[in-house]
Amino acid sequence: MKGVILAGGRGTRLYPLTKVTNKHLLPVGKEPMIFNPVKQLVSAGIHDIMVITGKEHMGEMVRLLGSGEDFGCDFTFKVQEEPLGIAHALLRAEDFARGEKIVVILGDNIATHSIKKYVDKFREQKEGARVLLRKVEDPERYGIAALDELKIVEIEEKPLQAKSPYAVIGIYMYDEKVFDIIRCLGPSPSGEYEITPVNNYYIKLGQLAYDLLEGDWADAGTFTSWAYANQMMLSIENKIINS
């Protein structure tokens, strides 16, 4: 199993901090933001990791992370030429994945507790995908999962009237079909390759499992959530708690 960290995008919600640097290089607690998803993957036993970012800040990213020796992993770096969505960035990892299952983390998703037990479940899952959910107070910012007993029946992107308080956070697990699914779905009317249609496709196949993420979590993409992520990580000295 391999890991993919998506660390591109313009970071416009954190402007002007992101005028001169990549959002994922901003500090969270005592470390750069991207250290948390790296540590999460390593804690789950994933040591072969691709980092995908834009060409403007690739040099800074490589200088920060290096070969991976400091983290006990091996890094591969890939440029996303244009910020055309999460699924578009994920397509850059197809050759890297080489038919293996992958765990994908958005670089601004910060969590206190290890994702190992969820990844272990995915290792045992024969096929399909797995997502992590979290109860949120602002569902209009997320893809929201409509639940029916033990399964997700639909994911609605940024709904005005949410069918549940459970957001699909930026930690996804996919089998080798994901790349063909992305190509099959193509871009949305806005021109972006979005991840919610990919997850909904797995629902149609009856192959999307989910878990509720334990511990504290933040999507550090706004000033409010970034401030919370800083407090969260400072309180545990940027450690990953084994759950």
135-166: pLDDT as tens digits: 998 888 889 999 987 899 999 998 888 888 99
With respect to residue 123, please indicate whether it lies within any of the assigned structural domains: yes
User: In sequence order, what are the beta bridge partners of 6?
Assistant: 52, 106
What band does 56 get if pLDDT is binned at 50, 70 and 90? confident
Residue 71: DSSP 8-state: G
With respect to residue 15, please indicate whether it lies within any of the assigned structural domains: yes
Q: Indicate whether this model's pTM tops 0.85.
A: yes
With respect to residue 49, please indicate whether it lies within any of the assigned structural domains: yes
- Return the CATH number at 95: 3.90.550.10
With respect to residue 201, please indicate whether it lies within any of the assigned structural domains: no
With respect to residue 175, please indicate whether it lies within any of the assigned structural domains: yes
What does the alpha-carbon distance between residue 139 and residue 82 come to, in Å, rounded to a whole number?
A: 27
Residue 130: partners with Cβ closer than 8 Å, 6 or more residues away: 118, 121, 122, 172, 173, 208, 209, 210, 211
* Surface-to-core class of residue 8, CB atoms within 10 Å of its CB (0-12 exposed, 13-18 middle, 19+ buried): buried
Residue 221 above 90 pLDDT?
no
Which residues form the domain of 25?
A: 2-129+170-186+216-235
Cα torsion angle, 189, 195, 199, 201, sign: positive
With respect to residue 158, please indicate whether it lies within any of the assigned structural domains: no
Instruction: Tally the domains of the chain.
Output: 1
